[in-house]
């Protein structure tokens, strides 16, 4: 899950990034042409495994070049496709440097990759831990819950730090979460309190995620009303 992948692969082999972005834009154009009366798609292109702002700047430049090239090749009568570029917060260094990332490369959003952020923050391999020692930790009470199912407290602090620093640098920054935690009710409640805009999860967990998100929204509204009453 670490090493030579994500933005690192794209920086050394920009042709891969260009191919992927071209495919995204071609797909968006095809959908827009097949539904002429509907609003066109608005692709969100995420740059993964970023640690430093310079990485995001480099990949974002390739993304913009490839996207504009695809739109120009579509011709003057082609649908107008608006796209945005953001980054995934998968590394503790990215959370710590969220202010710099939010200001880099025209960054429009963060997507917090909670699976990899948990692995990197805790020094755990999800597959190895589950197969070897994590069940024993849970049975012995060393951990209250599986950190790959329910967000661990320290990882949560990294999430909160990323949201706060990112929005301090770019007000209105959209922040989402992708990973197994996006389908866990306790984690969703935390994300709502941390100011996350949305969560995504595997299809089977969508009903539970929707219910938990609705409950979190209701609690937030009640807390806001209580605060106004006290004022």
3-state secondary structure of 110: strand
190 vs 7, 155, 187, 212, CA distance in Å? 29, 11, 5, 11
Report the pLDDT value the prediction gives residue 65, as an integer from 0 to 100.
Answer: 97
Which of residues 231 and 199 earns the better pLDDT score?
199
Is 60 exceeded by the pLDDT of residue 210?
yes
Q: Are 226 and 220 in contact (CB under 8 A)?
A: no
User: Both ends of the chain: CA-CA distance in Å?
Assistant: 49
Q: What residue ranges in the chain does DSSP mark as E strands?
A: 44-47, 84-89, 107-113, 174-178, 198-200
Give the residue-averaged pLDDT of 212-223. 81
Nearest-CA neighbor of 161 among 86, 94, 230? 94
Tell me how many degrees the CA angle 53-57-61 measures, rounded to the nearest 5.
170
Cβ partners under 8 Å of residue 5, min gap 6: 48, 49
Percentage of the chain exceeding pLDDT 90: 81
Structure tokens at 176: 């989402």
Q: CA 45 to CA 23: how far, in whole Å?
A: 12
Q: CA 42 to CA 81: how far, in whole Å?
A: 6
| Dihedral class, residue 78 (left if φ above 0, else alpha if ψ from -120 to 50, else beta) | beta
pLDDT digits 0-9 by tens, 121-176:
999 888 877 778 888 999 999 999 999 999 999 999 999 999 999 999 999 999 99
Report the pLDDT value the prediction gives residue 133, as an integer from 0 to 100.
Answer: 86
Q: CA 229 to CA 231: how far, in whole Å?
A: 5
Q: Are 150 and 172 in contact (CB under 8 A)?
A: no
Is 80 exceeded by the pLDDT of residue 206?
yes
Give the least confident one: 4-8, 11-15, 220-224: 220-224
Q: Are 204 and 180 in contact (CB under 8 A)?
A: no
């Amino acid at each position: 899950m670490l090493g030579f992948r994500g933005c690192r692969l794209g920086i050394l082999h920009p042709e891969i990034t260009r191919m992927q972005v071209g495919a995204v834009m071609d797909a968006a154009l095809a959908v827009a042409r097949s539904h002429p009366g509907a609003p066109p798609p608005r692709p969100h292109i995420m740059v993964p495994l970023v640690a430093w702002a310079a990485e995001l700047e480099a990949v974002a430049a390739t993304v913009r070049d490839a996207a504009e090239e695809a739109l120009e090749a579509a011709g003057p009568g082609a649908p107008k496709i608006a796209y945005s570029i953001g980054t995934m917060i998968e590394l503790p260094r990215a959370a710590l440097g969220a202010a710099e990332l939010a200001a880099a490369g025209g960054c429009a959003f963060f997507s917090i990759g909670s699976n990899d952020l948990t692995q990197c923050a805790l020094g755990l391999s999800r597959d190895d831990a589950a197969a070897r020692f994590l069940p024993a930790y849970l049975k012995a009470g060393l951990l209250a819950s599986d950190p790959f199912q329910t967000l661990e407290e320290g990882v949560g602090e990294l999430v909160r730090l990323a949201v706060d620093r990112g929005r301090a640098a770019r007000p209105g920054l959209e922040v989402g979460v992708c990973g197994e935690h996006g389908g866990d009710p306790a984690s969703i409640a935390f994300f709502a309190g941390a100011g996350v805009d949305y969560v995504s999860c595997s299809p089977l967990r969508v009903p539970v995620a929707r219910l938990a998100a609705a409950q979190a929204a209701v609690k937030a509204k009640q807390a806001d009303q209580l605060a106004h009453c006290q004022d």
